[in-house]
Structure 1
Amino acid sequence: MQEIPLWYWLIVFFGLGACVGSFYNVIVYRMPRGISLINPPSHCPLCKKRIPIYYNLPIVGWLWLRGKTACCHKPLNVIYPIGESLCGLLGALALYSASGFGTDLSRPVLSPETWANAAAMFWLLLGAYPVCAVDYKYKLIPDSISVGGIVAGLLISIVPGGITPFQSLLGAVLAGGGLYLLGWIATKVLKKDAMGFGDVKLLAGYGALMGVTGAVETLLVAAMLGVLVMVPYGMIKNKAARGKANSAVNSVAKNENEPENEENGQIPFGPFLAIAAPVMYLWGDALLDVYLKFVLGE
């Protein structure tokens, strides 16, 4: 590793990110539909014919086929190479941020702490893609990301320079358990489900990767982001709903025959956690110092 420059590892991380993005495309499509992630193997979404492995190469496969399926020559959704490219860029960004950014791409990456941070950032950044895509549309968080985050955090904690295995385990237990307790209390007070268990497992994974402090900071920032987005979003939705109610003559009869959907127009909490986590992993301490100086006036 001593003679391998940073730019080379950035290319490697881009390739790894694109491969992970290809798998995440499978998660985003299959998991909400209850289809196994393993069986059947990769197949054409139109004619169901199995796709050869050489056509399954991330980004390259789509370009090779000119955006069409190999078997029936129908247009293939452009979201596949876009998702793979995005994850590739996020993979490279994980190492680039862990190495302290900078313009010297010829420097080697030697510190074990850098590799531990790069692995954690890789998981946090790339995991945001399926969490945001699946949770926003289907109100689900893949266990491969939430529970997988707990496993990944415990494994990464073995690498010297990052958090210790004890801190990782404590972070998972306290972050997940604390959010579960908070959700349970809110459910009792509001008389309806206030927190999904997927959010609990996701924050537990972040606790394993970041420790207790990082997970708490992530939860607070995610809550603030949620308020900033949901308040104006709710006002817009309510205004649109009132407009429809005023113009619909038969709306009363229709509402009597259909159950009210409480989740209509609501944005799940998972995406806010997924966005806040990598930000707080990188700049949590700096942002906390700025906040304390602002509050305490130092």
Structure 2
Amino acid sequence: MDTILNNAPIVLFFSSFIILIALAIIDFRHWILPNWLNLLLAITGFLFHLTSGFPFFEPYELFIGAAVGGGILYIIRFFGNRHYKQDTLGLGDVKLMAASGLWLGIEGIVTAMTIGAFAGLVHGVLVSLIRAAKEKTRPNLHRLMIPAGPGFCIGIAIMLIWQYWV
């Protein structure tokens, strides 16, 4: 007889997508990634591995993945903020990638970050082209501001599917 504990990994896996969708929508609309949702993503990631018996990664690899995900984005944020003299990435984006590192490990989080940055680039170019067409001007990518979270959520979702389903 199946119990909730036997099904916990699959419940946690699918709940991660609900959390990612919520994070993407909130960031897209309000330019914020709530701490409680980032924390929930981190907890579900660790519990996923705990309840499945760590078949994909050793526990230390998850924590290194969290440090790498959050650390790389924090460094990018630090230098971006210094160069542009304004916030270029929010700390919510840093926390999102750290939380996702608990799901994806080291290689997975770096790949998710790369895919997410590319998704954000495509989103930014499309927004710029649409605005330019509406205003009958030339696209201006220099002043374009878009939330980073939705792109990162896409990259994370792709890597979750790739690592645990495919």
Equivalent residue, structure 1, for 2:30: 138
Aligned equivalents of 1:182 and 1:239: distance in 2? Answer: 32
Amino acid at match of 2:69: A
Amino acid at match of 2:91: F
Aligned equivalents of 1:164 and 1:131: distance in 2? Answer: 27
Equivalent residue, structure 2, for 1:175: 69
Aligned with 1:279 (options 155, 158, 161): 158
**Counterpart mapping for 1:113-132 below 5 A:** 116=9, 118-132=10-24
- In the TM superposition, what whole-angstrom CA distance separates every residue of 1:10-37 from its partner, at most 9, and x where no partner exists? xx9xxxxxxxxxxxxxxxxxxxxxxxxx
Please say if residues 127 and 145 of structure 1, whose CA atoms lie closer than 8 Å, have aligned partners that are also in contact: yes
Q: What is the Cα deviation at residue 151 of structure 1?
A: 2.4
Q: TM-score, normalised by structure 1?
A: 0.47
CA 1:150/1:128 → structure 2, altered by over 3 Å: closer, same or farther? closer
Please say if residues 199 and 269 of structure 1, whose CA atoms lie closer than 8 Å, have aligned partners that are also in contact: yes
Q: Quick check: 1:225 aligned with 2:104? A: no
Aligned with 2:48 (options 156, 176, 198): 156
RMSD (CA atoms): 2.9
Who wins on radius of gyration, i.e. which is larger? 1
Number of equivalences: 159
Equivalent residue, structure 2, for 1:236: 130
Equivalent residue, structure 1, for 2:99: 205
CA 1:190/1:242 → structure 2, altered by over 3 Å: closer, same or farther? farther
Q: What is the Cα deviation at residue 286 of structure 1?
A: 10
CA 1:234/1:217 → structure 2, altered by over 3 Å: closer, same or farther? same
Equivalent residue, structure 1, for 2:149: 270
Provide the secondary structure at the position in 2 that maps to 1:158.
helix
Provide the secondary structure at the position in 1 that maps to 2:70.
helix
Provide the secondary structure at the position in 2 that maps to 1:157.
helix
Which runs of 5 or more structure 1 residues have no equivalent in the other structure? 13-111, 244-261, 288-298
Aligned equivalents of 1:187 and 1:241: distance in 2? Answer: 30
Aligned equivalents of 1:266 and 1:200: distance in 2? Answer: 17
Decide which structure has greater helix share. 2
Please say if residues 120 and 209 of structure 1, whose CA atoms lie closer than 8 Å, have aligned partners that are also in contact: no
Equivalent residue, structure 2, for 1:147: 39
Aligned equivalents of 1:285 and 1:122: distance in 2? Answer: 11
